[in-house]
Amino acid sequence: MAETHSSPTSEVENIGLLGRFWRGRIWYGTEWYITTFGGLILLAIILMTVFAPWLAPFDPNQFIGAQFTPPGHGKQALLARAGEAPPVDLSDLSGQVIGVQRNRNGANLARELGAKGKRYQTQEDLLAALLDGEVDLIFVDQELAPEIVASYDGLEIVAEGLGRSYPLGTDNLGRDIVSRLIWGARTVLGVALTSALFSSIIGITLGLISGFVSGFLDRVLSLMMDSIYSFPGLLLAIAMVVMLGPGLLNVAVAVSVIYIPTFFRVVRGQVLSVKEELYVEAARSLGAKPLTILTRYIFPNVIPSVVVVFSLNVADAILTEAGLSFVGLGLPPDVPDWGYDLSKGQSFLVAGQWWLITFPGIMITLVAAGFSLLGEGLSEILNPRLVKG
């Protein structure tokens, strides 16, 4: 009896922070898993942004491959006329004359290897050149090689798996999508976090003052904030970006204005309720200065809600930033950005190049959902209003 009575607390005190966090799963149940899951997504993305230079295989702005390489494609096969393959050293193809097709990965590969690429407009031209003896070797996409060999007599595969592949393909300018996604995370998180920081600082300050001072100032500020809140945020951001001009900081400022009212409302509401608490009354009656009451007694109570709102707002800011980029008003074109990639990629959807927009969209959803899950989980954990017992 006595052991079970006292053990939970003493044990918790003896384990480390991580251990205590791990314990939390029992205490908070599913909410814990939601929060942790959201947190893990974000951790992965944040690591990605920090280590972008090492993680990204290529420069996000470099035209590294052929346009519209589908995901996983890019490797080349070397073909020759059957039985006539010239004795070549596969590890050194420089100096060879290799037939390539225009705007395909083979052309880039030949250039990189130092081979002399002879370019042909279409695949038919390329194959005809090989069969007519114009060239002795040609590059074709690895995925097409077996089919070509099967449908044209007298061809054989000399080598396969040459060059590199692009796990998520390349875009309309031949840029590697993986690299763009990794670098884009920096932009998106940078803008979203900066704007949330701006709006939280202004929103919290105004909220504290408004709730604490009350009276006329409170009424005016509340009405102003309500008005901004009721205005479609994206439209406000659009108007501001049009006026301020494109650029990372300008976008962050434009986005932050939208979210000031959210912080304001939450903080003000909290202040109003905390202000009535007995211990604040007691501090006041003991002669504590208003500023002391505000910073020592009221502000700490506001923090949990602010953490939740911050997380949810970052999620929203990411979507707004992407929306701005999508309507073409966000960032300069040389900044890798998911929203920008999406808006540029949409025109190629009809032609079947789905990978240009699919992956940036998934990334935006993932990051926004990560912040939302984190915020949602935290709000249940920090404000256990509905959890009984």
Beta bridge partners of 79: 138, 157
**Per CB under 8 A, does 388 bind other proteins?**
yes
Query: Which of 234, 248, 283, 288 lies at the binding interface for other proteins (CB under 8 A)?
Result: 234
**Per CB under 8 A, does 373 bind other proteins?**
yes
Closest approach, Cβ 337 to other proteins, in A, equals 12
**Per CB under 8 A, does 326 bind other proteins?**
yes
HEC states along the chain? CHHHHHHHHHHHHHCCHHHHHHHHHHHHCHHHHHHHHHHHHHHHHHHHHHCHHHHCCCCCCCCCCCCCCCCCCCCEEEEEECCCCCCCCCCCCCCCEEEEECCCHHHHHHHHHCCEEEEECCHHHHHHHHHCCCCCEEEEEHHHHHHHHHHCCCEEEEEEEECCCCCCCECCCCCEHHHHHHHHHHHHHHHHHHHHHHHHHHHHHHHHHHHHHCHHHHHHHHHHHHHHHHCCHHHHHHHHHHHHCCCHHHHHHHHHHHHHHHHHHHHHHHHHHHHCCHHHHHHHHCCCCHHHHHHHHHHHHHHHHHHHHHHHHHHHHHHHHHHHHHCCCCCCCCCCCHHHHHHHHHHHCCCCCCHHHHHHHHHHHHHHHHHHHHHHHHHHHHCCCCCCC
Contact criterion met (CB below 8 Å) for 261 and 228:
yes
**Per CB under 8 A, does 389 bind other proteins?**
yes
Number of residues that bind other proteins (CB under 8 A): 59
**Per CB under 8 A, does 169 bind other proteins?**
no
- Span from 53-61, 141-149, 197-205, 342-350 in contact with other proteins (CB under 8 A): 342-350
- Span from 1-9, 104-112, 134-142, 170-178 in contact with other proteins (CB under 8 A): 1-9
* CA atoms within 13 A of residue 83's CA, in its CB half-sphere: 2
Closest approach, Cβ 35 to other proteins, in A, equals 12
Query: Which of 15, 19, 22, 27 lies at the binding interface for other proteins (CB under 8 A)?
Result: 27
Query: Which of 11, 15, 19, 30 lies at the binding interface for other proteins (CB under 8 A)?
Result: 30
Query: Which of 112, 327, 332, 382 lies at the binding interface for other proteins (CB under 8 A)?
Result: 327
Closest approach, Cβ 234 to other proteins, in A, equals 4
Closest approach, Cβ 61 to other proteins, in A, equals 23
- Span from 70-78, 143-151, 278-286, 322-330 in contact with other proteins (CB under 8 A): 322-330
* CA atoms within 13 A of residue 277's CA, in its CB half-sphere: 14
**Per CB under 8 A, does 350 bind other proteins?**
yes
Closest approach, Cβ 199 to other proteins, in A, equals 16
**Per CB under 8 A, does 5 bind other proteins?**
yes
- Span from 122-130, 187-195, 274-282, 319-327 in contact with other proteins (CB under 8 A): 319-327
**Per CB under 8 A, does 236 bind other proteins?**
yes
**Per CB under 8 A, does 215 bind other proteins?**
no
**Per CB under 8 A, does 34 bind other proteins?**
yes
**Per CB under 8 A, does 333 bind other proteins?**
no
**Per CB under 8 A, does 369 bind other proteins?**
yes
Q: Can you give the binding site for other proteins, defined by CB under 8 A?
A: 1, 4-5, 8, 27-28, 30, 34, 223-224, 226-236, 238-240, 242-245, 315, 319, 322-323, 326-329, 339, 342-343, 346, 349-350, 354, 357-358, 360-361, 364-366, 368-369, 372-373, 376, 386-389
